[in-house]
Amino acid sequence: MKEYREDKSIQGRKEEIAIKVKRLQAAMEKAGLDAVIINKSNNFAWITAGASNIITRYSEEGVTSIVITKEGGQYILANNIEYPRIVKEENIEELGFEIKTWYWFEDHNLDSVKEIVGEGRYGSDVAFPGAENASELIETCQYSLTDNDIARYQYLGDTFSKALEECLAQVRPGDVELDIAGRINAALWKYDIDPVLFLVAGDERILDFRHCIPTGNKIGKRMMVSCNGRYKGLVTKTTRFVNFGEPDEAFMKQYLDTLDIENQMMAATTAGTDDIVPHRLAKELYAQKGYPEMWKVHHQGGPQGYSNGYYLVTEDRHGVILPNQCYCYNPSITGTKTEDGFIVTEEGPLMITKPVIFPAVEAQVNGVTVRRPGVLVVE
């Protein structure tokens, strides 16, 4: 399997940005736009090769915007509060962006865009005067990851997996769900990984709900944790189970059935294939394994990347899989769920999250041996 190493140099990041600007130029040409405004924090991280415009952590909108023109012009709009940090810490000028700035008590966003675009048409990923909705245009340019993107994803996956599993291995019966979420948060933050979703549940709550937000309940005999982590705009998802004492055979069979559905969906996810194919396969597999209605109870996932999920694959919403595109499936049968992101490569699936200290279940997927998580048993 190819090794990916992030080129963090200014030149390496500029080359990555050039690839992405070229994609945007082609998309703008097709859509008849003269420029696009990029403000959402995930899109900002994508076009700047990992820079951040986030102040309020859980707001989609950032505090500075990027403007890319059809001719390849690169601009950043920032008030005088954000300007110093964006220059010194994000190296935005060295990366080739021309800065337009003003005092915080003024608002020259629209004036600056008009100065750049003139009377041309422009789109934006957030509401902006005179702009067309360009969210989907920007997102589709992100689907096929660059080598630098993949290297950052691997850092996220490797570090996320280790920190999360080490944290979960310390949980004991009687621990409170909210406290567990807090411990996970602390474990990830020190690695610059921003947890953007926590689902923590014990015992009957695993059976009652698909989306178990953490509560003040205490863990008993079993725990399920789903967590989404974000690093430099990239997001991945994972689910892990911990059992206190030896799990019963019925649970383990169901868990392995769920895992096999996910593995077979991964195997069907190849470049050039419509992603409706693995979706339909999942429905067949549920039925074959004796759970014909379970596909209806929860979605099966879809493509991810600089988004928690670009769309959920359904009969009404699906698309052709691209090389180096990231997917994450999450088959679930009441009481079990499995979930790990992977990148579609010529050599087979490249796992993002993976078992580190959890037991591993090996499977063959498109000629590649993948290590999938088992259930951690704590005596």
Can you tell me the mean pLDDT for 328-356? Answer: 97
- pLDDT the model gives residue 59: 84
Phi, psi of 9 (to 5 degrees): -65, 160
- pLDDT the model gives residue 133: 98
pLDDT above 90 (res 367):
no
Can you tell me the mean pLDDT for 6-10? Answer: 97
Average confidence score pLDDT of the chain = 96
Both tokens of 236, joined, read 């991945």
pLDDT in tens, 12-42: 999 999 999 999 999 999 999 999 999 999 9
pLDDT in tens, 260-313: 999 999 999 999 999 999 999 999 999 999 999 999 999 999 999 999 999 999
Cβ atoms of 359 and 371 closer than 8 Å: no
Confidence of residue 366 (pLDDT cuts 50, 70, 90): confident
pLDDT in tens, 123-132: 999 999 999 9
pLDDT above 90 (res 210):
yes
Length of the chain as a residue count: 379
Domain range list for the chain: 10-140, 147-378
pLDDT above 90 (res 111):
yes
Confidence of residue 101 (pLDDT cuts 50, 70, 90): very high
pLDDT in tens, 51-62: 999 998 878 999
pLDDT above 90 (res 96):
yes
pLDDT above 90 (res 346):
yes
- pLDDT the model gives residue 368: 82
CATH code for the part of the protein at 10-140:
3.40.350.10
Can you tell me the mean pLDDT for 153-163? Answer: 98
Both tokens of 246, joined, read 């030896």
Query: Which residues lie across from 36 on neighbouring strands?
Result: 68, 123
Class in CATH terms, 147-378 = alpha beta
Tell me how far apart the alpha carbons of residues 290 and 146 are, in angstroms, rounded to a whole number.
Answer: 40
Q: Tell me the HSE value of 323 on the side-chain side, using a 13 A CA sphere.
A: 5
Q: Tell me the HSE value of 329 on the side-chain side, using a 13 A CA sphere.
A: 32
